[in-house]
Structure 1
Amino acid sequence: MNTNLTFDFTVNKETNTVHVKKEFAAGLALVWDAYTKPELLDQWWGPKPWFTKTKSMEFIEGGRRLYAMCGPEGQEHWALADFTSISPKTNFKFLSGFCDKDGNINKEMPRSVWNIDFVDKENTTFVDIAIKHETLANLEQLLVMGFKEGFTIALNGLDKLFANT
């Protein structure tokens, strides 16, 4: 496995944005599928020992993914991704937020706008993720909840998934 792949996680408190740049040792089609197909998302979108289970997903503009982050002791934390823009194998955007198991948004928790770009680099694929929060307080709340650590673990799990395909 190539260990010299790009990984950068930065927080810009002036723009309330998290920026994650990650290079994967896999082709563009496979990386795109890993981000857009529920059967693959559920294999890595969550920091182990946590995992996700998708209740429903319609990957189209105006569609959504409703899923639970499941803990090792049976905990379930529900989340929703509302897809706002899709350019196949290049980019997609969604509005992310916490919700209940029926997809009703938890208004006590912040939502964020995700913009994910995919770039084919011949033998690798570069993924550039910008996560914009409405306020600095919302950004800081997510960071205190362990977002950086959890998302880093999840992305490392995606590396493992690609190594096994």
Structure 2
Amino acid sequence: MPLTDATHDLESRTITITADFAAPVERLWQVYADPRQLERIWGPPTHPATFVDHDLTPGGRMNYYMTGPDGERYYGFWRITQVDEPTSFTFEDGFAVDDSFAENPDLPVGSNTFTFEPDGDHTRMTAVTTYPSAEALQQVLNMGVIEGATSAMGQIDGLLAS
């Protein structure tokens, strides 16, 4: 598994996940730039994602849903704030109420920065999510966000190998 570290810090309100992949930066970038590839890794294996909208440009929006084993759908969105292809992008990741993709006001929105750094013939990916409060961070921790994110990232190696 490519995951090297997954930590959270209530004081700084952050979750940081680091992973190393046996692929160049440009190849890893393509996983996020192509909605069909992103669907294969965004969401844990038990809750695959479907991206309805995919605009990885500043000001763009990406709407998706994850489908659980029982067929129930869980809706979410990304609001893209910065893009520096192929080394980083920043986005707000939130939960949506339904297939309208309207923001769910009862759940926190996290500000994410994904960076891709070359390390020889490998790439180190660092994903940092910052929440508006320690309580918001604790809420998503209680929902299993670290377990979900790390199991989702665990699918990237298989995609890169295919």
What's the TM-score, normalizing by structure 2? 0.95
- CA–CA separation in structure 1 for the residues paired with 2:21 and 2:139: 29
Q: How does 1:122-137 map to 2 (within 5 A)?
A: 122-137=120-135
Q: Tell me, what secondary structure is at the counterpart of 1:44? A: coil
- The alpha carbon displacement at 1:17 in A equals 0.3
**Residue 99 of structure 2 aligns with which residue?**
101
Structure 2 residue runs of 5 or longer lacking an equivalent are none
Which of residues 31, 46, 50 in structure 2 aligns to 1:49? 46
**Is 2:73 the partner of 1:76?**
yes
Which whole-Å CA distance do the structure 2 matches of 1:149 and 1:6 have between them?
A: 12
Query: Mapping of 1:13-52 within 5 angstroms?
Result: 13-52=10-49
Partners of 1:56 and 1:114 lie apart in 2 by 18
Q: Which digits, 9 at most, give the CA deviation of each residue in 1:25-53, with x for residues without a partner?
A: 11211100112221101011111121000
Aligned-pair distance for 1:108? Answer: 0.7
TM normalised by structure 1 equals 0.93
- Report Cα offsets for 1:39-98 as digits up to 9, x if no partner: 101011111121000111111100010000111221101000000000111110001101
Deviation string, structure 1 residues 108-160 (Cα, Å, up to 9, x no partner): 11000001111112311111111000001110110111111111111111122
Q: Alignment partner for residue 83 of structure 2, among 79, 83, 86?
A: 86
Letter in 1 for 2:154: N
Instruction: Give the Å deviation of 1:6.
Output: 5.6
Q: Which amino acid aligns with 2:88?
A: N
In structure 2, C-alpha distance between the alignment counterparts of 1:44 and 1:111, rounded to whole Å: 20
- Percent of aligned pairs with the same residue? 28
Cα separation, 2, equivalents of 1:43 and 1:21: 19
Q: Whole-Å Cα distance in 1 between the matches of residues 8 and 92 of structure 2? A: 19
Q: Distance in 2 between matches of 1:90 and 1:162?
A: 17
Distance 2:53 2:26 in 1: 22
Where 2:40 maps in the other structure, the secondary structure is helix
Q: Point out where structure 1 has 5 or more consecutive residues left out of the alignment.
A: none
Residue 61 of structure 2 aligns to which amino acid in structure 1?
R
Separation in structure 2 between the aligned mates of residue 122 and residue 34 of structure 1, nearest angstrom:
19
Q: In the comparison of the two structures, how many residue pairs are matched? A: 161
**2:156 counterpart residue number:** 158
